Structure 1
Amino acid sequence: MSDSARPRRRYDASGRRTRAAENHARIIAAAAELFLERGYTGSTVPAIAERAGVAVETVYRAANGKAGLLAAAVQSALAGGPERAAVPVEEREGIRRVIDQDDPRRQLLAYAATQPGVWSRVGPLLRVLDEAAAGDEELANLRLAHAEQRYTGLRRFASLLAERGALRSDLTIDRAADVIWTLCAQSTFESLVTARGWTHRQYREWLGATLASALLEDPAPAAHAGSSSP
């Protein structure tokens, strides 16, 4: 049989994509670990590559430099992992639970339930970003983009409440988004949980009840509200 007649081995594109995804996940995880251990300035691309067990060139292909790695680490932490970060926000499981709730108060309780996990995962990385952004324009823009992304999502949430006729009559969508922005801020979580020692359950129950009281036309009494204070 001639060489031209030999059957060719099928190229395994799916296997290559799987390996690339695994490398990408390791790189983002390694970058996040080093940023938290050494800060932004103290973390180098070669060190990230060594921690991830890949070549330096592979790290550069995974993100646009060190700032891109921090941006990817933040998005991964927000979503709960790099695989989830690739899913559009409104299709993620936790957000779908909020959107699909018919009762507005239960929507707010479901949203409040997402916050302890979000801030526990992403808060430390955002502190790294805040510290580094003071002297780096690219990182300052990244911090601004993260804030704009968060506000856009909160405004969509406020719009959903308004469409369902649930918002108080004296609240505009923008004002409602401002209220959610403030009550659900990282600083609020850290003040109550990190500094004052509230449990995640106490925090989320307080947050759900407070959001309902501040936003809804006719909020129902908060279940177990009296037990949510530490």
Structure 2
Amino acid sequence: MLENARPKRRYDATSRRSQAQATRARVVLAATEAFLELGYVGATVPDIAARAGVALKTVYRAAPGKAGLLAASVTAAVAGGVARGEVPVVERPAIRAITEEPDPAQQLRLYAKTQPGIWARVGPLLRVLATAAESEPELRAMQAEQEAVRHAGLTDFARLLDERRALKVGLTPERAADIIVTLGSFATYESLVNTYDWTHDQYVEWLVAALQHSLLG
């Protein structure tokens, strides 16, 4: 009878999407933990599933295989969280603060201040990636893609400086990006901070001075 029929529940797309995002975050965090503890070879998808408390198929929905999980872990570490990693780079607050700052010298300072936190978070995963990439062509390709994406983003930053007539005469945005990538590399951070025991403040002040001296007219 119609009067006894139960009303249909409305499909709550927002709730389902939030649940899916929360599940993916658990998977990525579990993968990060496994990679740091066991290395790339030692970490297995079943172990990651167990750590996250999900089924194997859920792990494979979160990322395309173990290499995809490592890529997702690196992205989350760079952004400062899984959810933040899903936000387009240009929309992240720290990046918007840099691009919206009108003073080129201050832009470089804001950029330099982002680097210690990023490298401190992502550095251990980059070591895992570097070791595994020696024998995994897929991971070598991932390294190359990450480097290309970083260089492209910093080229856009250098073009912004160029549009404001801030770059030294004769310095192209492409060459300026080469300089930013090199001075602000993980290798430089690791050498100064982890090998020579510089503080983050010392590293930032050096990077600011080096960038301003190398780039600004």
Counterpart secondary structure, 1:9: coil
- Corresponding residue for 1:146? 146
Number of equivalences: 217
Q: Runs of 5+ in structure 2 lacking a partner?
A: none
Structure 1 letter corresponding to 2:213: S
How many angstroms does 1:2 deviate by?
Answer: 2.4
Deviations 1:169-197 (A, max 9, x none): 03121211111111001011001111111
The CA RMSD over aligned residues, in Å, is: 1.2
- Corresponding residue for 1:193? 193
- Corresponding residue for 2:49? 49
* 2:174 matches 1:178: no
Alignment of 1:212-223 (within 5 A): 212-217=212-217
Alignment of 1:45-194 (within 5 A): 45-194=45-194
Structure 1 letter corresponding to 2:76: S
Counterpart secondary structure, 2:18: helix
How many angstroms does 1:13 deviate by?
Answer: 2.5
- Corresponding residue for 1:17? 17
How many angstroms does 1:6 deviate by?
Answer: 3.5
Task: Give the TM-score normalised by the residue count of structure 1.
Answer: 0.91
Structure 2 letter corresponding to 1:170: G
| Alpha-carbon distance in structure 2 between the residues aligned to 1:142 and 1:4 | 58
1:215/1:61 Cα in 2 relative to 1: closer, same or farther (>3 Å)? same
| Alpha-carbon distance in structure 2 between the residues aligned to 1:213 and 1:66 | 42
Of 10-19 and 203-212, deviating more is: 10-19
- Corresponding residue for 1:39? 39
| Alpha-carbon distance in structure 2 between the residues aligned to 1:167 and 1:86 | 32
| Alpha-carbon distance in structure 2 between the residues aligned to 1:27 and 1:121 | 18
How many angstroms does 1:16 deviate by?
Answer: 1.7
How many angstroms does 1:115 deviate by?
Answer: 0.2
Deviations 1:59-82 (A, max 9, x none): 011110101100111111111111
| Alpha-carbon distance in structure 2 between the residues aligned to 1:130 and 1:93 | 29
1:3/1:143 Cα in 2 relative to 1: closer, same or farther (>3 Å)? farther
Identity of aligned residues (%): 56
| Alpha-carbon distance in structure 2 between the residues aligned to 1:206 and 1:105 | 14
Deviations 1:17-76 (A, max 9, x none): 111111100100110111011100000001001111111111011110101100111111
How many angstroms does 1:84 deviate by?
Answer: 1.0
| Alpha-carbon distance in structure 2 between the residues aligned to 1:82 and 1:202 | 29
